[in-house]
């Protein structure tokens, strides 16, 4: 049976398509988990190497309803979904109707998602301008340190070592590593002036109006999205 989502407008379709395209840039075979309830669609993905969950929401034109189902929870191919969103008719009449692709076997991360509620504000996060500056400085430092390496030392293990040292540094007085902000920037989330740090249980979440990245605490001083 065909399942359809009705995006609120062309802007929602364009934003969702941009997010999916960024995920696919880092992983051609990316999968995303979709959760639709009421008039909101949440899309979860995990770009490789950043070790975070990316979360993008989209407004629906009407509350989700498919037969007797009042909610949708499915994991699909990001590439197939992008094609469906790109092909969606975003006229006023259909408000961006997207046919949901067939389900795929979800990767391990798709079984461990952040909670829906219970989030509280966490202090210590620098303002948006400083966060962007920290990411820019980290990228510049990584490139400079790689260039300083002798050619024979520019191997994956050495690059990973340098990267881990730089990206594991924390943002301000928080537990959030710089790599989380780097992921948010790479996914197009670090725009505007608003950024919040939230906590719920074992999870931390960097949130902006354009999307969120979430990390699961895996131990003292460590953050991960790997099931435990």
The CATH number covering residue 23 comes to 3.10.150
- Of the chain, the percentage scoring pLDDT greater than 70 comes to 92
**Boundary residue ending a domain (88, 111, 134):** 111
Task: Name the least confident of 28-37, 120-129, 136-145, 209-218.
Answer: 209-218
Residue 72 C-beta-side C-alpha neighbours within 13 Å = 29
Phi, psi of 133 (to 5 degrees): -65, -40
What is the domain extent for residue 47? 4-111
The domain tally of the chain equals 2
Q: Which of 57, 59, 69, 71 is nearest to 95 (CA)?
A: 59
- Encode pLDDT of 128-186 as tens digits: 999 999 999 999 999 999 999 998 898 999 999 999 999 999 999 999 999 999 999 99
What pLDDT, on the 0 to 100 scale, is given for residue 96? 77
Q: Please, what is the average pLDDT of the chain?
A: 90
Q: Answer with the one of 82, 111, 140 that is the final residue of a domain.
A: 111
Which residue from 17, 49, 50 is spatially nearest to 32, judged by alpha carbons?
17
Tell me the per-residue pLDDT of 30-56, one tens digit each, with 9 for 90 and over: 999 999 999 999 999 999 888 899 999
Residues 99 and 183 in one domain: no
Helical H segments across 8-155, by residue range: 10-26, 78-87, 128-148
- In the listed set 68, 87, 111, which residue is the last one of a domain according to the structure? 111
pLDDT of 228 above 70? no
* Lookup result for tokens 């303002």: 127
Is residue 126 within 8 Å of residue 134, measured between CB atoms?
yes
Query: In 10 A of CB 214, how many CB atoms?
Result: 23
Query: What pLDDT does residue 49 have?
Result: 82
CB contact at 8 A, 204 and 223: yes
Question: How far apart (Å, rounded) are the C-alpha atoms in residues 209 and 173?
Answer: 22
Please tell me whether the overall predicted TM-score, pTM, comes out greater than 0.85 for this model.
yes
Residue, of 216 and 33, whose pLDDT is higher? 33
CB-CB contact of 206 with 176 (8 Å): yes
Q: How many helices (H) and strands (E) does the chain have?
A: 5, 11
- Determine the pLDDT at residue 221: 40
Range of weakest confidence among 32-36, 61-65, 75-79: 61-65
């Amino acid at each position: 049976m065909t399942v359809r989502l009705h995006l609120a407008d062309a802007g929602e379709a364009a934003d969702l398509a941009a997010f999916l395209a960024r995920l696919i840039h880092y992983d051609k075979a990316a999968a995303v988990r979709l959760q639709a309830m009421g008039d909101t669609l949440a899309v979860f993905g995990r770009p490789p190497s950043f070790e975070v969950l990316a979360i993008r929401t989209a407004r629906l034109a009407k509350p989700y309803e498919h037969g007797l189902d009042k909610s949708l929870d499915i994991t699909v191919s990001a590439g197939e979904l992008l094609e469906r969103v790109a092909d969606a008719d975003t006229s006023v009449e259909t408000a961006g109707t997207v046919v949901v692709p067939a389900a795929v076997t979800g990767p391990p991360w798709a079984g461990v998602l952040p909670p829906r509620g219970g989030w509280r504000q966490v202090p210590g996060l620098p303002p948006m301008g400083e966060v962007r500056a920290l990411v820019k400085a980290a990228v510049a430092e990584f490139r400079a340190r790689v260039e300083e390496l002798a050619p024979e030392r520019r191997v994956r293990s050495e690059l990973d070592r340098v990267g881990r040292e730089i990206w594991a540094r924390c943002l301000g007085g928080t537990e959030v590593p710089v790599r989380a902000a780097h992921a948010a920037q790479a996914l197009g989330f670090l725009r505007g002036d608003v950024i919040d740090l939230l906590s719920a249980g074992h999870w931390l979440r960097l949130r902006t109006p354009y999307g969120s990245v979430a990390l699961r605490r895996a131990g003292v001083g460590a953050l991960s999205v790997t099931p435990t």
